[in-house]
Structure 1
Amino acid sequence: MTDDGCQQRSGGQPRVAPDFAQHNVFSAMNTYAGIDVGGTGIKYGVVDEMGQTVWEESVPTQADEGRDAVVERICGIVRRIQQRSPDILSVGLGVPGVVDPDTKHVQAPPNLPGWDDVDLLSHIRQITFKPVDLENDANAAALAEAHMGAGTEHPNFLYATLGTGIGGGVILGGRLYRGPHGDAGEIGHIIMDAWAREGARDPRPFRTAVLEDHVGNAGIVQMARQAGHDVHSVAEITDENVLREAGRVIGIGMCTAMAVLGVRVLIVGGGVSQAPYIIESIEQTIKHRAIPTIAAHAVVLPARFGAHAGLVGAAAVGRAVVAR
């Protein structure tokens, strides 16, 4: 624990994002701040240009305190980063929900109540003169994997991040595809049960029977409890059958997403992906259930950055601003 209570660990035409890998303006000493805002926790720290984490800390999001409290918490994190690492070249943020490609407002993240339309960048720019940018968290992680991680040899892939929710990032031709309105890749909202009663678990119709409701962190914990286990997180689950079933359900969702996109490569990251049997079960399901042209050539890879993908991806978003 640090002195401020933080947990510390060391260690149409498609709309595309800038390809910072094509720029050669960095030195080995350059570092970039990343802030990965999640529904449960906020990871933040400093990353070098090779994707190595220089330092990392985390605090609880405490989303139930409301939008303004979380925004102020993020601003406090920016201040702390600048105090500890004043030589960073930029600040990048990965956020849940849709990021409007024109206004850069954060829109409707399902795990952050009250964030219907938030201009987070304007708050951050009031407290730092460093270049700042933000991106959907899964998109940010996909960028990191594309340019520094498991996707460097795969110009076309779907990135899936498994955690509190399930997010996705689409890389086509080596570049991030956001869609015309910034909401491409929202694979956590794939509807898994057309006959589910609306409002049974969440009053919002768009959240009825979606993939991340079934096999986000809470959904997998619920599966384990139904199997008789007293657990509170995926990390506590040791039942192979539960973990393989979670992977199977995730794999079915990925079959749908990969068929829509026509991609053969899936890269899987996020905290839940670190659980045993998950990725293996996803791959087995895709090769069994995907359309034959995809199943025969499917490649499922663990993300290089694993549970750190969100942080490294956020730093990559800020790094891209410097490269422009």
Structure 2
Amino acid sequence: MTVVAGGAAAARPQLIREINEKVLLDHIRRSGPISRTELAGLTGLSKPTVSAALGSLERTGLVHVTGQRTGVPGPAANLYEVRPEAGFVLGLDVGREYLRGGIADLAGTVRSRLSVRTKAVDAMARIQELVDLTATLAAEVGIEVTQLTQTVLGSPGVYDPRLDALTLTGRLSGWDSPATLAALRERFGPSLMIENDVDAAAIAERAHGHGRDVDSFAFVSVGTGIGMGLVLDGKLRHGSHGVAGEIGYLPFTEGSGSDPRDARKRGGFDASASAAAVVRAARRAGVRGASTAEKVFAAAVRGDALAAAVVAEEALLVAKAVCTVITVVDPDLIVLGGGIGQAPGFLEAVTKQLHQLAPVMPEVKASVLGTETVVAGCLAAGLDRAWQTLVGNSAG
């Protein structure tokens, strides 16, 4: 027992140092350039403790002195800032038609960004395309792939630990095979973290969009697929089984574009209100040139009455789903995203229906983050994980 107690006592100062360094790094990331005196005031730590922690962070290359504060009483004070090149984070977005990626340095500056149309016909080919995309991004930054500190992959689906595989992966053929996850781990290494793509979009909204100053909001994505990212008390919620936000499985099957086969595979709401359902509804209604949901919405904007009726039906379906979220979670804000969620006039149409359906009306806004939302969320999540890892290593 004496050995255990001694080991715990020896580990305690190291743990305290690590906590202090994490606290300082968080303030430097958010408020830098910043002086030792300012850090002591913000954290409540003593000046000697701050000096010791900063010295450790400097030695490990996580922060550096970027200048001095002058023009105030007393001697000039060194200003500390995150050293951007201390590490790099890779964010990848896996879609059925496009693969998107970006690399950011530890200061959060995006150094490279790229979107490519996928030609893959199976999961292994798609993984190889992701590897090739990563190599191209790294070359643009001027680094080796081995210099990536953290990789975050935004993907449809949720992780099932019983199968050690992704499930509910929608329209990505073969993506739910255990061999796919094994291959991803092999190619991207131990720093790989996989996040549901819509949850990643919600992280981006939290970091850069309408959710920045909101404690609770739901990001509802309506496009090729349908999903929701839920932030409560400032934290992304996955649920006990990882399926929080899989609203595509809500049992709404009354839309004129609903397909029973899709409902069995991907859920009733997805089969009734996704982009494919909008196209089916438009064709059944006789809308000309209804090859994509975007063209259906464009026709409605031009005054096509048949297309407008399809859009109105879509708005009602989405409003019903959002009303369900409101009555269960009661968030401060609803953010609509995805190709349909951000389509011209759709926000107003959904809001009009919600006024008739919902017991209370939170704010409802359309996302302004664009097609790079998932990558932005992956980078934000990756930066948080990277800093945790780097500080732990420096304290060790």
Instruction: Please state which band the TM-score falls in when normalised by the shorter chain.
Output: 0.7 to 0.9
1:162 Cα deviation (Å)?
Answer: 2.0
Structure that is richer in helix per residue = 2
Contact 1:93 1:318 in 2 (8 A): no
Report the number of matched residues: 296
Question: 1:38-187 alignment to 2 at 5 Å?
Answer: 38-47=95-104, 54-62=111-119, 65-85=121-141, 86=143, 89-100=149-160, 105-118=165-178, 122-128=182-188, 131-187=191-247
Quote the Cα distance in structure 2 between the aligned partners of 1:320 and 1:255: 33
Decide which of 231, 234, 237 is 2:290's aligned counterpart.
231
Change (3 A) 1:54 1:212: farther
- One-letter identity of the residue aligned with 2:271: D
Q: Describe the shift of the 1:144–1:251 C-alpha distance in structure 2 as closer, same or farther (beyond 3 A).
A: same
How far the C-alpha of 1:113 sits from its partner, in A, is 2.1
Which string of whole-angstrom CA distances, capped at 9 and with x for unpartnered residues, describes residues 93-138 of structure 1? Answer: 1100113479874223011122334465653454456833120001
- Decide whether the 8 Å contact of 1:274 with 1:307 is kept in 2: no
TM-fit CA distance, 1:250:
1.2
Q: Does 1:221 align with 2:285?
A: no
Deviations 1:221-248 (A, max 9, x none): 2233334221322332321413343222
AA partner of residue 274 (structure 2): G
Question: 2:343 matched to 1:275?
Answer: yes
Q: CA deviation at 1:283?
A: 1.7
Residue 36 (1) aligns with residue 104 (2)? no
Distance 1:205 1:316, change over 3 A: same
Q: Is the 8 A contact 1:108 1:117 kept in 2?
A: no
Q: 1:101 to 1:319 in 2, by over 3 A?
A: farther
Of structures 1 and 2, the one scoring higher in RCO (CA 8 A, sep 6+) is: 1
Whether the 8 Å CA contact 1:221–1:233 is kept in 2: the answer is yes
Distance 1:69 1:219, change over 3 A: same
**Worse overlay, 179-188 or 117-126:** 117-126
Larger radius of gyration: 2
SS of the residue corresponding to residue 287 of structure 1 reads helix
| Contact 2:168/2:266 (8 A) holds in 1 | no
Separation (CA, whole Å) in 1 of partners of 2:124 and 2:157:
17
Amino acid at match of 2:128: E
Residue identity in the other structure for 1:76: D
2: distance between equivalents of 1:269 and 1:93? 19
Which structure 2 residue ranges, 5 or more long, are not aligned? 1-22, 30-81, 302-307, 389-396
Contact 1:33 1:91 in 2 (8 A): yes
1:52 shift after superposition: 7.2
Taking structure 2 as the reference length, the TM-score comes to 0.65
CA distance in 1, matches of 2:162, 2:312: 41
The CA distance in 1 between the partners of 2:272 and 2:316, in whole Å, is 11
* Residues 176-210 of structure 1: CA deviation (Å, up to 9, x unaligned): 110112111101221113899x98333x73535x2
- Once the two structures are TM-superposed, the CA of residue 90 in structure 1 deviates from its matched residue by 3.0
The aligned residue for residue 12 of structure 1 is none
The percent identity for this pair of structures is 27
- Quick one: distance in 2 between partners of 1:318 and 1:104? 22
**Per-residue deviation at 1:45?**
2.4
Within a 5 Å distance, the mapping from 1:262-301 to structure 2 comes to: 262-290=330-358, 292=359, 294-295=360-361, 298-301=362-365
How far residue 305 of structure 1 moved from its aligned partner, in angstroms, is: 1.2
Give 1:164 shift. Answer: 0.8
My pick for the range that moved more, 184-193 or 75-84, is 75-84
Q: Unaligned regions of 5+ residues in structure 1, if any?
A: 1-19
In 2, are the aligned partners of 1:104 and 1:134 still within 8 Å (CA)?
A: no
